[in-house]
Copies of this chain bind each other. A is one copy, B any other.
Amino acid sequence: MMHILISNDDGWGAKGILTLVKVMRQYGEVTVVAPSGPQSGQSNAMTVGEPVSLDLVSEAPGLRIYTCSGTPTDCVKLAFHQLFTDRMPDLVCSGINHGDNGTINVLYSGTMGATFEGTVHGIPSIGWSICNHDPDADFSEMERWMPELMRLILAEPYAFGRCWNVNAPAGRIKGIRFTRHCRGYWAKEWKMVEEKPGHMLFTLAGDYVNLEPEAEDTDQWACANGYISVCPDSIDMTDYTVLKHLQEHA
């Protein structure tokens, strides 16, 4: 039986994480350390300069639930530090996020922040997301595919710095595709809500711009065409192609 650490960025009461806990209990013992409130868009942020709390919510055979006042990254770091002192978990799972974490969203995602943090500490890690922001999103179709996704992912050997970014379409699912992150960005990112001379207030908005809508090997294409996207991620951000060129020519 595995020991699985679960976190997310929508907060510990979200439907997505409850679904993930339900599925993962079939694979072993589960410890949840999830944010006490919403932490979407928190990327790999850490809480610097103020204390972070870790509170036990419930404890039952095979399932412990803690909340943390910090970011998703804080949650995973605290779990490793305080709750897994004898033995590290076998797997870190984050999500299921209510919303797409493919393409450029991987940079901003707190769900992926928690996933990357598992990888940093040498643990196989999976970020799970559904392309549906609704707090009451229907996870049943995705859930049906999760055993096959677990089988595929757990069959791959762990390598330092590697983790998994799984995004499922909101509706009916046709199959699974291994993908790369689509190139894209957010435009019209702010809505001005106040303007005085020298002072402005904005709230976050945004329209996604897909820079390669025709490419069929991307996470965006997969999800838009009814497939679950499985993208292998690396936390090593070095651009080795450029590095090789520089070392030879600069």
Using a CB–CB distance below 8 Å, which chain A residues touch chain B?
38, 40-56, 71, 73, 77-78, 80-82, 104, 106-108, 113, 116, 120-122, 152, 155-156, 159-162, 178-181, 183, 185-186, 188-190, 192-194, 198-204, 211, 230-240, 242-243, 246-247, 250
B residues in contact with A235, CB < 8 Å? 104, 107, 237
Residues of B within 8 A of A234 (CB): 237-239, 242
Within the complex, what minimum Cβ distance (angstroms) separates A110 from chain B? Answer: 8
Query: Is B238 touching A51 in the complex (CB atoms < 8 A)?
Result: no
Which of B47, B113, B202 is close to A52, meaning CB atoms less than 8 Å apart?
B202
Residue of B at shortest CB range from A53? B201
Judging by beta carbons under 8 Å apart, are A53 and B108 in contact? no
Q: Which residue of B lies closest to A56 (CB)?
A: B198
How many chain copies does the complex carry?
A: 2
Can you report 10 residue pairs joining A to B where beta carbons are below 8 Å apart?
A44-B44, A44-B107, A45-B71, A48-B204, A52-B202, A53-B199, A54-B201, A107-B120, A161-B183, A180-B240
Q: In the bound complex, do residue B38 and residue A49 qualify as a contact, i.e. CB atoms below 8 Å apart?
A: yes
Query: What is the distance, in angstroms, from A115's C-beta to the closest C-beta of chain B?
Result: 11
A156 and B238 within 8 A (CB): no
**Chain B residues with CB below 8 A from A159, complex form:** 242
Given contacts A53-B202, A81-B188, 13 further A-B pairs with CB under 8 A are A40-B48, A41-B48, A43-B73, A45-B71, A47-B204, A51-B203, A55-B199, A55-B200, A104-B120, A178-B250, A180-B238, A181-B236, A233-B238
Q: From residue A134, how far is it (CB to closest CB) to chain B in Å?
A: 17
